[in-house]
Amino acid sequence: MCGDAPPPPSGEIPGNPPGGSTGGTGLCCACPAEGDLNTNGFSNYFSTSYSHSNLLTNKGKMKITRTEEGGTVAIVKSFSLAYTAGATEAANKATITSAITSAMATWQSSASNYRIQVEQPGCKTQKLTMTYASTIVASGADVAVSVDGTAAPTPPTPGLRSFVQGGTAMTFYTNGVGDIPWTMVHEIGHTFGLPDEYIYDLTSATPAPTVTFKGASLPDKTVTLSTSAIAAATGKFNFDADCVMGRNGNGKYPEYVFYWVAIEVQKIFTAAGVNAVVKVVAA
Ligand SMILES: [Zn+2]
């Protein structure tokens, strides 16, 4: 909290209009704010008409810096690296470290199409740029990555698919399906608490599966998955979405994959006594 404004005379409500626990003005308009991320994406960021899991925790740190009408939301996530099944630090560290760094850069450049708009009572509307960064740490990481060197099985056996468990543990196959840079972008998406936007082998084509993303101060967004180009087994139906979280190799980042940022920004302001309206808007 910034302490740069003199206290108002007793009995007078600071700022205008009143709202929130401290009149909606618990922070000055350009005051920074920050918080730790520790939120299960399931139910807090989105819900699905299907479910792969019930825990997808987004851990990390968020720092908000502001000017009169702009600023930055900095998202930082730490990773630890362990090696197994033939993967070694000597052989794989550079590749994995660079995949994490470039995946964060990809999320950041995709986020540059959007701003986090903050409307704090008594302040000008602020449009904040999102930044994404990673650190590699020895222990206590937000995401523990197991770099797994298991050899790819011989086709037609399905290949190895890297995955995230619980949002905070990643198994990354060095010989997995898909190219390493894109796979890391998608898997890091899961560590932000984002769901897979595909579901395969349904026994009925109707109703089509949906994912509903919570919109912070925007209306929730429901995405109906499309029939997948991937051939389904006889009598089965596959669905996916035109999104980085929906199709292998896809490079699209719809507005709703950034809704969680607005949710967390709003939460940080609420904790500081500010009832801010927070939205994802076009840049
Ligand atoms: Zn996935």
- Domain with 180, as residue range(s), is 53-282
Q: What is the pLDDT of residue 25?
A: 64
- List the one residue out of 195, 136, 145 whose CA is nearest residue 171: 145
Residue 229, domain member (yes or no): yes
From ligand 1's centre to the CA of 163, what distance in Å? 6
Per-residue pLDDT at 96 exceeds 50: yes
Query: Could you tell me what percent of the chain has a pLDDT over 70?
Result: 90
Residue 46, domain member (yes or no): no
Residue 13, domain member (yes or no): no
From ligand 1's centre to the CA of 168, what distance in Å? 14
pLDDT digit string, tens, across residues 147-200: 999 999 998 888 999 999 999 999 999 999 999 999 999 999 999 999 999 999
pTM over 0.85: yes
Q: Measure Cα distances from 4 to 23, 28, 69, 122, 125 in Å.
A: 17, 8, 19, 16, 21
From ligand 1's centre to the CA of 22, what distance in Å? 42
From ligand 1's centre to the CA of 240, what distance in Å? 11
Domain tally for the chain?
1
From ligand 1's centre to the CA of 73, what distance in Å? 25
- The phi and psi torsions of 99 (rounded to 5 degrees) equal -65, -40
Per-residue pLDDT at 5 exceeds 70: no
pLDDT digit string, tens, across residues 139-149: 999 999 999 99
Residue 42, domain member (yes or no): no
Residue 18, domain member (yes or no): no
Per-residue burial over 196-223, b if 16 or more Cβ lie within 10 Å, else e, is bbbbeebeeeeeebbbebbbbebeebeb
From ligand 1's centre to the CA of 169, what distance in Å? 13
From ligand 1's centre to the CA of 164, what distance in Å? 7
From ligand 1's centre to the CA of 187, what distance in Å? 6
Per-residue pLDDT at 24 exceeds 70: no
Residue 39, domain member (yes or no): no
Residue 40, domain member (yes or no): no
From ligand 1's centre to the CA of 196, what distance in Å? 5
pLDDT band, residue 53 (cuts 50/70/90) = low
